A and B are shown apart, each in its own frame.
Chain A
């Protein structure tokens, strides 16, 4: 059973950069799957941020494209999300997922000074 666990800061400052990591266990990040980040807010619901393949190929949501970078660390079996130029609108629960089938528990990130 694949398990995913997000980690990172719970509070970040406006205009700052958020870096989240998702540790994968029970399966290899080199499997034939895309590794995904999704965020959730009461206002906008679920929002797909983007996905990364173990080769490093990525697809991002155009609404966030210029601010998002995703990467994979195959040696640690984990993948990461970097989101820059944060505003209060980026406050959300961030989930990592394997193609929206297996999900992490989520991490609440608040953008505030």
Chain B
């Protein structure tokens, strides 16, 4: 199985300041079709996960443009340009390039 490792596990951030979460996979996520199926999910307290970013850098419908994704191969990053109160929650990276699909352990974003 591909292991997804996120850092940090907890990120206290000041409102209006940027935040960054890293995700490293134990194997390359480049699929045989040439695409990289790396997504980022947000889970607010008491809510199901919600997709923010798919295929490394594509924002899902309705996701604010302060969220951006980047990376390639085995190293990926989610950035929030200016953290807002509603961004509090846990963020997960997840891969769908190789079965079984796997998730990172989650990064808790909290406000200082």
Bound: A46/B98 CA distance, A: 16
A62 to B50, CA, bound (A): 25
**Assuming A99-B96, A100-B39, is B48 touching A46 (CB within 8 A)?**
no
Interfacial residues of chain A within 35-87, with CB under 8 A of chain B in the complex: 45-48, 59-63
B41 engages A59 (CB within 8 Å): no
- Which of B54, B99, B106 lies in contact with A101, CB distance below 8 A? B54
Residue of B nearest to A64 (CB): B100
Q: From A63, A99, A101, A103, give the contact of B100 (CB < 8 A).
A: A63
B49:A46 contact, CB within 8 angstroms: yes
- Residues on A with C-beta less than 8 A from B92 are 45-46
Which of the four size classes fits the interface of chain A?
Answer: 10 to 19
Instruction: Report Cα–Cα, A104/B49, bound state, in Å.
Output: 9
Q: Annotate B86-112 by CB proximity to A: 1 below 8 A, 0 otherwise.
A: 000000101010011111111000000
| Inter-subunit contact A103/B102 (CB<8 Å) | no
> Of all chain B residues, which has the CB nearest A1?
B61
Complex: chain A residue closest to B50, CB-CB: A103
Q: Which of chain B's residues has its CB closest to A6's CB?
A: B48
| Contact of A28 with B by CB under 8 A | no
User: Within the assembled complex, what's the spacing in Å between the Cα atoms of A60 and B48?
Assistant: 21
Q: Judging by beta carbons under 8 Å apart, are A95 and B48 in contact?
A: yes
Interface set of A (CB-CB < 8 Å, partner B): 45-48, 59-63, 95, 99-101, 103-106
**Chain B interfacial positions (CB closer than 8 Å to A):** 39, 41, 48-51, 54, 60, 92, 94, 96, 99-106
